[in-house]
Amino acid sequence: MTNLLLLGFLPSGSEWIIIALVILLLFGGKKIPELMKGLGKGVKSFKDGVNEAKEEINKTKEEIDEPASKGK
């Protein structure tokens, strides 16, 4: 039910065009590639951080499970 309510607030096709034009007017054509490059680096950094966290969690889990299996 809440998913359907959230879909009502998302922009439709023509609204995306207006948003793109406003961004183009605000930042200009030369700044947009720089912004996208920075956004890409940020996303990559975030993914690297998530992967590091997963590795740490798995390593800790293995360390906890290892003594438990030796005790059996």
Query: What is the percent of the chain where pLDDT is above 70?
Result: 82
What is the average pLDDT across 27-47? 90
Confidence (pLDDT) at 69:
66
pLDDT band at 11 (very low <50, low <70, confident <90, very high): confident
Reported as half-sphere exposure (CB side, CA atoms, 13 A), residue 25 has a value of: 6
pLDDT, tens digit, 9 for 90 and up, residues 41-60 = 999 999 999 999 999 999 99
pLDDT band at 65 (very low <50, low <70, confident <90, very high): confident
Answer whether residue 72 shows pLDDT above 60.
no
Using the structure block, give the residue that is written with the tokens 């948003």: 19
